[in-house]
């Protein structure tokens, strides 16, 4: 006998008589108030993070990024308690101009290293996010494979505040990620200058992604950025571009010879690869591992981390002093007045600054 569902009349959605269908809308739903998620206590945060709970980690990072003083207070306590569990990762900065292939490359670099085990966090410092109010870097959608990998954690750039503030938050996020067991951390940034310095101040290895251009590729790149690089990699070495990429690599090698030897004693390497086709990825990782072995053996690894810790102490002091000054209500009221007096020629800039600072320090007594 033919199955009734194969007959032409069967529409697939017939409701048998006598059976009452449940209401689609839950009648109680509308009465339910929107429940705010309870914020974890410091202890719960730390416990969750150390267990590697990514949901707890995400919420902690949100607190780190928050400008609310009550959030900051909890965040700072959580960071302090996570510190003993941190410090054990490979921190790698990755920089390149838009279109250089950062997201494509991070996707393949990340998958490659995760095949060997471990966990990878991708963070970002995006100096433009302050203006655009939205961050492009570290966006999950740009790293297709990595974003769905169970051992990865991708977080876009914090968007509020000055570059210094954004960088501090990223540095604090590194600590939380390390406490959560992430043993590789990528910090991505756009190759425009200042943000590189910020990234350089928080990573062990700085990788610069470049493209082969028309032969004058060295012109557009700032000397300071090249000097920071521990490795320069020329992307898109595929198809008809291979020879150009090799040529660019030799230009970079020659240029690097002209720089003074870096403090690390390591000679920065220049490699070509293709992120899109996955060519030359192993060689890049070999270089990174070789670097870590080298600087751990000669003591530079610890030296650099100590220098960075010192740098961040002073950066924190500067940031807090600045915030305390500018957020002071009386100072905020005086600022436009003094500004006008300077513009009118009634006061010099220096006298105006001194009056404001004197007033501030008087209030702090
Ligand atoms: P980002 O702006 O630095 O993050 O760059 P993307 O990763 O978004 O890459 C920019 C463009 O370059 C995209 O269209 C990529 O498909 C392309 N691209 C990235 N890597 C390669 C590569 O190795 N070879 C080629 N031919 N194209 C690539």
Closest CA to 155 of 201, 186, 178: 186
| CB 328, CB 363: distance < 8 Å | yes
What is the atom index within ligand 1 of the atom nearest the CA of 98? 2
For atom 7 of ligand 1, which residue has the closest CA? 101
Beta strand extents in the chain (DSSP E only): 90-96, 120-125, 152-154, 184-190, 205-211, 231-235, 269-272
CA 303/CA 145 separation, integer angstroms: 35
Closest CA to 121 of 104, 98, 143, 97: 143
Ligand 1 centroid from CA 65, angstroms: 29
Residue to substitute in 98, 101, 110, 122 for testing ligand 1 pocket (most ligand atoms within 8 angstroms of CB) = 101
Report the C-alpha dihedral over residues 176, 179, 180, 184, rounded to 10 degrees.
90
For atom 26 of ligand 1, which residue has the closest CA? 236
What the block records as the tokens of 260 is 């003074």
Residue-level pLDDT, tens digit, the chain, 365 residues: 555 555 555 555 555 555 555 555 555 555 555 556 678 899 999 999 999 999 999 999 999 998 888 999 999 999 999 999 999 999 999 998 888 899 999 999 999 999 999 999 999 887 665 555 445 565 657 788 998 999 999 998 877 567 777 888 999 999 999 999 999 999 998 766 677 888 889 999 999 999 887 445 555 566 778 888 999 999 999 999 999 999 999 988 988 888 888 889 999 999 999 999 999 999 999 999 999 999 999 999 999 999 999 998 998 898 889 989 998 999 999 999 999 999 999 999 999 999 999 999 999 98
CA 332/CA 354 separation, integer angstroms: 15
Question: What separation in angstroms does the CA of 81 have from each of 47, 66, 326?
Answer: 10, 19, 30
The burial class, CB within 10 Å (0-12 / 13-18 / 19+), for 125 is buried
Q: Show the ligand 1 pocket: residues with CB < 6 angstroms.
A: 96, 98-104, 235-236, 238, 274-276
């Amino acid at each position: 006998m033919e199955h009734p569902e194969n007959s032409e009349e069967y529409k697939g959605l017939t409701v048998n008589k006598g059976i009452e269908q449940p209401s689609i809308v839950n009648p109680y739903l509308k009465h339910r108030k929107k429940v705010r998620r309870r914020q974890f206590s410091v202890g719960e945060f730390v416990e969750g993070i150390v267990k590697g709970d990514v949901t707890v980690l995400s919420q902690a990072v949100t607190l780190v990024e928050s400008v609310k003083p009550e959030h900051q207070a909890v965040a700072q306590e959580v960071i302090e308690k996570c510190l003993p569990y941190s410090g054990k990762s490979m921190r790698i900065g990755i920089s390149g101009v838009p279109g250089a292939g950062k997201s494509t490359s991070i996707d393949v670099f990340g998958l490659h290293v995760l095949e060997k085990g471990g966990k990878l966090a991708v963070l970002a410092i995006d100096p433009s996010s302050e203006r655009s109010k939205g961050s492009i870097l570290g966006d999950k959608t740009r790293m297709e494979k990595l974003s769905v990998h169970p051992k990865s954690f991708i977080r876009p750039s914090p968007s509020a505040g000055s570059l210094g503030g954004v960088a501090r938050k990223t540095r604090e996020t590194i600590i939380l990620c390390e406490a959560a067991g992430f043993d590789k951390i990528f910090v991505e940034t756009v190759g425009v200058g200042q943000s590189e310095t910020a990234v350089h101040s928080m990573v062990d290895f700085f990788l610069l992604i470049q493209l082969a251009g028309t032969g004058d590729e060295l012109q557009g790149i700032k000397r300071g950025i090249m000097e920071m690089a521990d490795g320069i990699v020329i992307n898109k070495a595929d198809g008809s571009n291979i020879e150009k990429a090799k040529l660019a690599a030799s230009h970079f090698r020659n240029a690097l010879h002209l720089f003074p030897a870096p403090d690390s004693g390591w000679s920065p390497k220049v490699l070509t690869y293709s992120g899109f086709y996955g060519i030359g990825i192993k060689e890049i990782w070999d270089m990174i591992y070789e670097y870590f072995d080298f600087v751990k053996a000669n003591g530079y690894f610890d030296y650099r981390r100590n220098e960075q810790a010192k740098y961040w102490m002073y950066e924190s002091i500067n940031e807090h002093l600045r915030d305390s000054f500018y957020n002071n209500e009386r100072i905020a009221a005086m600022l436009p007045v003094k500004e006008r007096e300077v513009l009118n020629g009634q006061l010099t800039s220096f006298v105006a600054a001194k009056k404001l600072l004197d007033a501030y320090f008087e209030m702090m007594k």
